[in-house]
């Protein structure tokens, strides 16, 4: 089976009398080094799947295999270590520390990490070699997202998980960020999974997974340019 493999994954939320089946029997497989895109309508369960994969949330049922290990069986301590060591996260709103420079933001994240890459070098690779000493407020949205990507990459994670990384950016800037993520995937052989509404992404993906009502509704390998919604 694949490098990442989800089988029968379910997750419900109880809200008073109401139970929401956020993830309702998700199955998919991903090979090592693939650039994978998750699309689907708002509320479909995309973020919940990504959070389960990254150890930020737990599932009620199912198997979540990453590099041969079942993440769903991890206890709290193993899950924390997994999140710190094996996973890089990139979010819509960069989540940078405002009173630290670009370089300090990346270095801070590496303090709790076992096998980090060189912070300066990774920032240079994402195009911010001249911006190391700048604070987030001195950077554009696209540049701030590059800092966040460098911060995630510098951990040298097994999986890079990105939840709407272009959601706060204009279309062209978003496209450049997606290109950076794809280059990272190709050059480092890193497995990258991106939730996005950006329609530029489809032709860039090795695999496009469409989620609807908590289930996989379609998997496309090497998709043609199409609408992602
Ligand atoms: P989008 O797909 O547009 O990015 P989100 O994934 O942020 O949207 O949220 C989808 C829906 O899930 C929204 O209706 C939001 O209010 C709801 N939601 C997200 N997180 C929570 C939460 N922690 N508690 C309750 N509802 C949530
Ligand atoms: P998407 O990312 O595709 O927009 P989500 O995974 O955020 O979808 O949400 C799936 C469903 O689960 C939605 O109906 C959302 O409201 C619900 N949900 C997500 N997180 C929570 C939460 N912490 N508490 C309650 N409901 C949640």
pLDDT of residue 31: 96
**Model confidence at 224, in pLDDT bands (50, 70, 90)?**
confident
Average pLDDT on 85-114 reads 94
| Residues 180, 125 contacting (CB under 8 angstroms) | no
In the chain, % of residues over pLDDT 90: 83
The minimum-distance atom of ligand 2 relative to the CA of 49 is: 6
Q: Indicate the pairing of strand 207-212 with strand 215-221.
A: antiparallel
Answer whether 43 contacts ligand 2 (Cβ < 6 A).
yes
Q: Whose CA is nearest to atom 23 of ligand 2?
A: 13
pLDDT of residue 114: 83
**Model confidence at 195, in pLDDT bands (50, 70, 90)?**
very high
Residue 128 to residue 103: CA distance in whole angstroms:
10
DSSP code of residue 224:
P
Average pLDDT on 159-173 reads 92
First to last CA, the chain: 29
Which ipTM score applies to this complex? 0.72
Q: CA-CA distances (angstroms) from residue 22 to 14, 33, 51, 183, 228?
A: 10, 28, 12, 32, 20
Q: CA-CA distances (angstroms) from residue 188 to 15, 156, 161, 193?
A: 42, 9, 15, 14
Q: Whose CA is nearest to atom 14 of ligand 1?
A: 43
**Model confidence at 223, in pLDDT bands (50, 70, 90)?**
confident
Average pLDDT on 197-221 reads 89
CA of 45 to the centre of ligand 1 (A): 9
């Amino acid at each position: 089976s694949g490098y990442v493999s989800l089988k029968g994954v379910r997750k419900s939320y109880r809200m008073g009398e109401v139970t929401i089946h956020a993830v309702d029997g998700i199955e998919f497989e991903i090979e090592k080094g693939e650039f994978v895109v998750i699309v689907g309508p708002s509320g479909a369960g995309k973020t919940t799947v990504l959070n389960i994969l990254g150890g930020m949330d737990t599932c009620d049922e199912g198997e979540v295999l990453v590099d041969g290990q079942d993440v769903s069986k991890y206890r709290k301590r193993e899950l924390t270590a997994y999140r710190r060591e094996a996973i890089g996260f990139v979010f819509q709103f960069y989540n940078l520390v405002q009173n630290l420079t670009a370089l300090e933001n990346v270095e801070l994240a590496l303090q709790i990490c076992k096998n980090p890459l060189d912070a300066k070098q990774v920032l240079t690779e994402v195009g911010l070699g001249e911006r190391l000493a700048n604070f987030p407020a001195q950077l554009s949205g696209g540049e701030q997202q590059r800092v966040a990507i460098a911060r995630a990459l510098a951990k040298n994670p097994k999986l890079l998980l990105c939840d709407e990384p272009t959601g706060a950016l204009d279309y062209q800037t978003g496209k450049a960020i997606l290109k950076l993520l794809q280059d990272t995937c190709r050059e480092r052989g890193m497995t990258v999974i991106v939730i996005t509404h950006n329609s530029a992404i489809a032709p860039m993906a090795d695999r496009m997974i469409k989620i609807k009502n908590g289930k996989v509704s379609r998997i496309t390998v090497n998709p043609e340019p199409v609408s992602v919604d």
